[in-house]
Structure 1
Amino acid sequence: MAQQLIVAVFDSVDVAGRAGVDFRNFEEKDLGFKIESGVLVQKDATGKLILLDKQTRPFWGTVIGALTGGLIGMLGGPAGAIAGFTIGASGGLAGHALKDTLDNELTASISSKLASGSVAFILEAKEASPFEVDNIVLGYGGHVFRRPLA
């Protein structure tokens, strides 16, 4: 299974929550999809990303990958550690590997869809095929972005 950074952008918390349940249900079927870390963030009116702690913790606990933490910072989230969450190692990625993975093109593409009030799941996952996750995201009217992780 290929390790991926997956960002799924939705119009509302409610829609993203339903998609999150579908992600978890698909993962539990053990059909080639394993979430290693994930968070749900929302863009506020000032352009800052807010971690939706209440919606995130029941699904993925308190550890987020280093890549996820880096992307949150690049998209307008808080710098450094995110309150209440531990940023873990993401497959041993060094700082330059984070920058190479989180390039300007990726962050610009995500930012263009992540408007004020919208939400995004940021997942570090292993997946055999993108088909099921894409179907979930598109089925809820969302947009999906991927970047392979080495």
Structure 2
Amino acid sequence: MANVLVAIFDVHSEAYQAFSELKSFKQDDQTQIAQIALVKNDSGNVSIKDSVDFDDATRDYATIGGIVGGLIGILSGPLGVIFGSGLGALAGAASGSMTDSTDNGLIEDVTTKLLDGEIAVIALVSEKDESVLNHVFAPFKANIMRWDALSVGREVELAGQVQDDLYDKVQADLNQRRINHLKDQGTEIADAIKATFRRLRGKK
């Protein structure tokens, strides 16, 4: 089954170690890793610290694409901020040791559980036995979640459309505000000009 796996770590060094082990993971017919990324939440900005795209050896971390790249783009955009705002502490209190799967959408779950300063590994994997990759994370204190990759792909695509719509609406609102401001400013200037000439006429 193709999954998107997210592991959130309490200890940064453990996240880097787990990422390193996934990079050197010996893939076989039972378990394959297509993409992995190490990301950190810095004051609401989710940024990539390192990544590997096994499907494209020419792709560096700054341009990682596919589902993982699209997901990170959403997490670091306005929707990520909206989902994460005011909810992170509550979700963080509920998260603890290793868990598996969730009923919520990935974007909502990750933005509410990846708290400020925390670090996570995100991977696109195909696995017939989840215990294989769970074993990689077993030595570390990590909260592991999985979602069906197809569902995540659809969620990312929809979120991207919503994010574009939000951007368009914000731009339209800003443009209208700018037009209204110029109109108001124009009225004020016209009134000032009239007042100037009234004063001049009054001096005659």
Report sequence identity in percent: 27
2:15 matched residue in structure 1: 16
Shift of 1:77: 5.2
Contact 1:110 1:145 in 2 (8 A): no
1:5 matched residue in structure 2: 4
Q: Scaled by the length of structure 2, what TM-score is found? A: 0.50
Which of structures 1 and 2 has the bigger CA Rg?
A: 2
Deviations 1:43-90 (A, max 9, x none): 00x2101111xx435988526342112211222259xxxxxxxxxxxx
1:96 matched residue in structure 2: none
Contact 2:36 2:124 in 1 (8 A): yes
Q: Which moved more, 1:59-68 or 1:10-19?
A: 59-68
Query: After the TM superposition, which parts of structure 1 deviate over 3 Å for at least 4 consecutive aligned residues?
Result: 57-61
Name the CA distance, whole Å, in 2 between partners of 1:69 and 1:57: 11
1:30 matched residue in structure 2: 28
Contact 1:137 1:143 in 2 (8 A): no
Name the CA distance, whole Å, in 1 between partners of 2:135 and 2:73: 28
**Structure 2: tracts of 5 or more residues without a match:** 79-102, 151-204
Compare the two structures and name the one with the higher strand fraction.
1
Flag the 1:75–1:138 CA change in 2: closer, same or farther, 3 A. farther
Name the CA distance, whole Å, in 1 between partners of 2:145 and 2:65: 17
1:125 matched residue in structure 2: 125
Deviations 1:115-136 (A, max 9, x none): 1111111111111211122233
**Structure 1: tracts of 5 or more residues without a match:** 79-102
Match of 1:50 among 47, 51, 67: 47
- Which structure has the higher relative contact order (CA within 8 Å, separation 6+)? 1
Cα root mean square deviation, aligned = 2.9
Structure 2 counterpart SS, 1:30: coil
Shift of 1:29: 5.7
Shift of 1:142: 0.7
Q: Which moved more, 1:14-23 or 1:135-144?
A: 135-144
Name the CA distance, whole Å, in 2 between partners of 1:58 and 1:64: 7
Name the CA distance, whole Å, in 2 between partners of 1:28 and 1:128: 15
Number of aligned residue pairs: 122
Structure 1 counterpart SS, 2:105: helix
